Amino acid sequence: MDTRKTVVNVHEAKTNFSRLLERAHRGETIVLAKGGKPYARLVPLEAREPRKPGALKGKFELTKAFFEPLPEEEMRRWEGR
């Protein structure tokens, strides 16, 4: 993965967005600048494995206490009272 970082002003980014997007996809970080100051970052997404249903089965257990009503004081905090 490329670790270079390029700073590009907003006007140039609008004009060359597709090219910048390809560069980011290849691993480059593109910093978008507005008025000469860094404003946003265009970075590649991390590759993820597809989600598998049931992958966490058996790793967490809900006890009966989970289904019990919350104490009154905690309910007030949740409700903003």
For residue 1, what pLDDT is reported?
Answer: 47
Say if residue 69's pLDDT is above 90: yes
Cα distances from 48 to residues 39, 44, 45, 51, 52, in angstroms, run 27, 12, 9, 9, 12
For residue 3, what pLDDT is reported?
Answer: 59
In this structure, is residue 10 part of a structural domain? yes
Both structure tokens of 47? 């590759």
Assign residue 13 the CATH number of its domain: 3.40.1620
Domain tally, the chain: 1
Give the model confidence (pLDDT) of 16-55 as tens digits: 999 999 999 998 999 999 998 999 999 988 877 888 898 8
In this structure, is residue 63 part of a structural domain? no
**Segment among 9-13, 29-33, 77-81 with least mean pLDDT:** 77-81
For residue 48, what pLDDT is reported?
Answer: 76
In this structure, is residue 56 part of a structural domain? no
Residue 54, C-beta contacts closer than 8 angstroms, at least 6 positions apart: none
Domain hosting residue 37, numbered range:
5-42
